[in-house]
Structure 1
Amino acid sequence: MIDPQLREQALSTLVQHGWSSVRPGLYLHGPSQRLMGFYGEQSVLGVWPVSTGLKGFGNAQDSGQTPMGLHTLGECIGAGQPLGMCFVGRQATGQIVETTEDRSRDYITTRIIRLCGAVPGFNQGPGVDSYERYIYIHGTPHLADLGQPVSHGCVRMHSAHLLELFDQVGPGDLLYIEPGR
């Protein structure tokens, strides 16, 4: 369930940034650590807990922060792979990890949706490029951390939730990442 005021904020922000509602639109609300998906102004694709960067929000290369602002979805990687499949270098490894207490590794599991910054000089281009920073929405086995900012800059999701999202979006769809308010 989305708070009506937050829903209005999300829809208004997406429309302001060019979302036409004939394609899915995503809105990540940093303070609540929630990702919201919309298809049209009346249809909610889902609301999912996520984990963003432990170091907060920012667009600088090597910052460990989750980038801000308008993005488009890039490659969608991993279709057909089983839940919990680990990826290294965007390639399936054959290892399945659905849950773990091992904090020594930032597992990238199930699916990868690569983010492309859409604002030149802000989150696109030298020193700030979300795509070149390899920022993803990806599955995680660190389920207890969802809803808290603990990632290395990517957007982590529960693998089952990521499967729901992955099947409803595609390259070119919009995502707006709101760090505050």
Structure 2
Amino acid sequence: MSFDSTTAPQIHISLDRQVLTLVNRTGKLLAEYPISTAVNGPGEQDGSGCTPRGEHYIRAKIGDNQPIYTVFRGRRPTGEIHSPELAGQNPGRDWILSRILWLCGRESGKNRGPGVDTFRRFIYIHGTPETEPMGVPMSHGCVRMRNVHVIDLFERVSVGTTVIIY
């Protein structure tokens, strides 16, 4: 899919509602998904474990054509497929599964630049184990989604898609 900012959909993320919506340029709802953002709440500081607010865009899409539940470390597939058994062998691991949409801030001094840079903080929209609750802030700063939902969203957006977190 090529990117055209005049017709491309936008992603809106509501921290209060714990919902991600995909809308077209006229505001028509195309899709809505439950999510889980940071347990530490909203915030932009490096090391805060918070979900950054403001206008962002998708800088990179990672995981195209990978099987559902593919495990990623350092944005690379590990060769593992998440399962209850694998989870039991790795208690406490922060799982990044299925797809990654890596975000970059657009607002200098707020979510872009020294001390607040969303991209350098490695803030993603990504899949998470099915045992993790949605609708409740539980992440370390990223936006967690059900695996089928993040795959669906991944197919609907392009690098450059606007992401607004509020």
Give TM-score, length-normalised by structure 1.
0.83
Q: Kindly, what percent of the aligned residue pairs are identical?
A: 40
Alignment partner, residue 153 of structure 2 = 165
- Per-residue deviation, 1:21: 5.4
Alignment partner, residue 47 of structure 2 = 62
Rounded to whole Å, the distance in 2 between the matches of 1:143 and 1:30 is 21
2:27 counterpart of 1:37: no
- Per-residue deviation, 1:103: 5.6
Distance 1:144 1:172, change over 3 A: same
RMSD of equivalent CA atoms: 1.9
Q: Is the 8 A contact 1:21 1:41 kept in 2?
A: no
Higher relative contact order (CA 8 A, sep 6+): 2
Divergent runs of 4+, >6 A: none
Give the residue type in structure 1 aligned to 2:20.
Answer: L
Comparing 91-100 with 133-142, which one deviates more in the overlay?
A: 91-100
- Per-residue deviation, 1:24: 1.0
Secondary structure at the aligned position of 1:128 is classed as coil
- Per-residue deviation, 1:45: 2.4
Secondary structure at the aligned position of 1:164 is classed as helix
Give the residue type in structure 1 aligned to 2:147.
Answer: S
- Per-residue deviation, 1:144: 3.9
Distance 1:152 1:103, change over 3 A: farther
Comparing 167-176 with 33-42, which one deviates more in the overlay?
A: 33-42
Give TM-score, length-normalised by structure 2.
0.90
Runs of at least 5 residues in structure 1 that lack an aligned partner in the other structure: 1-19
Q: Is the 8 A contact 1:21 1:39 kept in 2?
A: no
| 1:126-141 alignment, distance < 5 Å | 126-141=114-129
Alignment partner, residue 92 of structure 2 = 104
Q: Is the 8 A contact 1:84 1:159 kept in 2?
A: yes
Rounded to whole Å, the distance in 2 between the matches of 1:145 and 1:103 is 17
Cα deviations by residue, 1:42-80 (Å, 9 ceiling, x for unpaired): 642210000000000000000000000000111000000
Alignment partner, residue 123 of structure 1 = 111
| Count, aligned residues | 160
Distance 1:125 1:47, change over 3 A: same
- Per-residue deviation, 1:142: 4.5
- Per-residue deviation, 1:98: 5.3
